[in-house]
Structure 1
Amino acid sequence: MTINEHISRFAGLPVTAFDPHLDVPADPAAYAWRVDTDYDGGAELFKLRFDGLVNADWAHRVTALVIGEWGEAYDHTAPIDALVAAADRLPALRALFVGEMTFDEQEISWIQQGDVTPLLRAYPRLEILSVRGAEGLRLEPLRHDRLRELTIESGGLPAHVVRAVGECELPALQHLELWLGTDNYGGDATADDLAPILSGTRLPALTSLALRDAELADQFAAAVAGAPVVARLERLDLSLGVLTDVGGAALLAGQPLTHLKQLDLHHHFLSETMMDRLSAELEAAGVELDLGDAGDPDDDDRFISVSE
């Protein structure tokens, strides 16, 4: 899998590129506004566009914002300070995506993030936060009462970020998605690091959990199989990783998963026999099971879907 296209919708809204010269939109809240730069414009163009948006007389009505390439993102950290400074001009912001870039703009492992904690503090009414890239990414444990969806996409998510997520008090969080990646790109989290998340104690509203793109997918599947949080999930996603029959057997041997609405395992290395077993137990119970993109279970060169 390569990230080769920009998203066309975010937070249920069509994504529209901001242009300082555009006409005043009839309803600014009807769009997710994209702010980015290009190779020729660099950081100066990004600043021009970002300042143009936050200083527009209708900025107070913007509900969703998509931050793309901010100018040499491989060498410059995300514009978190600028976003924090603009919080008083974006009081209606409910959804934010930081780092929405394609692979031909920046490889996911190149994107320089920073400490996203100030973002959550500056926007206490934020409901959706998506982050792409984990180089330099930091998060301090905090409480946020409104956040419903948190997604961190990476080719390697550091253990300290995973632990910090688990230590946050997020009473409204319904969907948590972590791309755990490979140790080759900083993804050093283990099942022990996921334990606070899997206990569900600080995530009482969680109904959708995605632990994606994991080199240690078998280890995480075994941890999930006995995790207290699973009993109240509607959707479980262990896709894009190196899931083998070891992980598949752990899922079948653990607590029942027949209450799930969806189980996504696509991009895996399960045998035909294991796929048949999973289908027989889960699809018969009405679970929507995705076993697409099957790799060769005998191939020693197994790989996650997104790394560099």
Structure 2
Amino acid sequence: MGYYPSHLKHFHGLPVHHVDGPEGEPAPGPGLPPPASVAWRLAADWDVPFEERWSSFMDRVRTDEVVALVVGPWWQEWDEHGIGLVLDLITADAHRLPRLRAVFLGDVESEESEISWIKQGDIGRVLHAWPGLRELGLRGAENLVIEPLRHAELRTLRVESGGLPPEPVRGLAACDLPALQHLELWLGTTWYGGDCTADDVRALLDMLGRGRALRHLGLCDSDIQDEIAAAVAAAPVVAGLDSLDLSMGTLSDDGGAALLSGQPLTHLRALDLGHHFMSEEMTRRVREALGPHIPALGLTPAHRRAHRPEDRYVAVGE
């Protein structure tokens, strides 16, 4: 089971097409795919800044038909300023992308930047620019801003990070997202800014419980995974879910016991507790209690470090 973030191959149900070609070579103009058939990925490289790549894309592609956009590394050597300049560019051209329904910001592998170094920005700018947006994903959480807002169409929100600060989580908890069906947050570790508390998680769960659309919830990769499990076990929103993901974190017997003693989970089609630190006995209890009812039950344990087998750690930090 690997959790290393890698370049997207598909996004919003579409294959990702690199505007500069899959290996950095220029994509031939006559061979461009139909605009709505792919998720268009743009990234800077050593020779071409992001601004030039964006301008070329806007000139060569019928952007009024584009539905999905993926932003890779926007820097040429290193990122000094964060994603703000990219947000300036793309939101200024929002009127030329009227059918855009999905955006991913920060399709970056560790060779390009560690996940904890990726500098995000105010993603509300994207949501305001495209009121019809249905999917928003991003990787990295440094400088991430989520202000309270209402967005009537957003179905999917995914935030991958090695450490998600509490401020964006609190901002998200104050949002009104009535159409949200899929939420996945990698909360990360305090070593990399993931300082969310159980109270922050409970406030978010309360907000989600006020809607009726949510079908998938992922609260992953946290070093307070036991406290998250306890909060989830008591959250009314869980009754309406099809799938629940509490993987990649430091889940121990305490978290497993909280899930077993809380509200019923047998209605779920999928429950992922992978990369856990539960004992064999607790793992057996979870499997016996939930395995007969949940078709996809993920119980792959974390790798125990040979020199300190008692240590617990998140799957993705730096």
TM-score (norm. length: structure 1): 0.94
Partner of 2:273: 265
Corresponding residue to 1:56 among 60, 67, 74: 60
Q: Which amino acid aligns with 1:31?
A: V
Partner of 1:5: 6
Q: 1:151, CA displacement in angstroms?
A: 0.4
Higher mean C-alpha displacement, 226-235 vs 196-205: 196-205
Alignment of 1:57-136 (within 5 A): 58-71=62-75, 72=77, 74-78=79-83, 79-136=86-143
**Contact map agreement 1:112 1:137 (CA 8 A) in 2:** yes
Question: What are the ranges of 5 or more consecutive residues in structure 2 without an aligned counterpart?
Answer: 21-25
> 3-state DSSP class of the match of 2:291?
helix
Partner of 2:220: 212
Partner of 2:248: 240
Alignment of 1:1-308 (within 5 A): 1=2, 3=4, 5-19=6-20, 22-24=28-30, 25-38=32-45, 40-41=46-47, 44-56=48-60, 58-71=62-75, 72=77, 74-78=79-83, 79-199=86-206, 200-296=208-304, 299-308=309-318
Higher mean C-alpha displacement, 146-155 vs 44-53: 44-53
> 3-state DSSP class of the match of 2:284?
helix
Q: Which amino acid aligns with 1:234?
A: D
Q: 1:27, CA displacement in angstroms?
A: 1.6
Structure 1, residues 49-80: CA drift from partner, whole Å, max 9, x if none? 11111233501111111100000554221111
Structure 1 CA distance for aligned equivalents of residues 303 and 311 of structure 2: 10
Q: 1:161, CA displacement in angstroms?
A: 0.6
Q: 1:204, CA displacement in angstroms?
A: 2.4
Q: 1:2, CA displacement in angstroms?
A: 5.4
Q: Per the alignment, do residues 4 and 126 of structure 1 end up closer, same or farther by CA in structure 2, a change over 3 Å counting?
A: closer
Q: Which amino acid aligns with 2:197?
A: T
Q: 1:21, CA displacement in angstroms?
A: 5.7
Question: What are the ranges of 5 or more consecutive residues in structure 1 without an aligned counterpart?
Answer: none
Q: Per the alignment, do residues 2 and 106 of structure 1 end up closer, same or farther by CA in structure 2, a change over 3 Å counting?
A: farther
Q: Which amino acid aligns with 1:219?
A: E
What number of residue pairs does the alignment pair up? 305
Q: Which amino acid aligns with 2:212?
A: P
> 3-state DSSP class of the match of 1:3?
coil
Structure 1 CA distance for aligned equivalents of residues 118 and 294 of structure 2: 40
Q: 1:296, CA displacement in angstroms?
A: 3.9
Structure 1 CA distance for aligned equivalents of residues 104 and 204 of structure 2: 22
Partner of 2:23: none
The percentage of aligned residue pairs carrying the same residue is: 49
Structure 2 CA distance for aligned equivalents of residues 218 and 278 of structure 1: 15
Q: Per the alignment, do residues 158 and 280 of structure 1 end up closer, same or farther by CA in structure 2, a change over 3 Å counting?
A: same
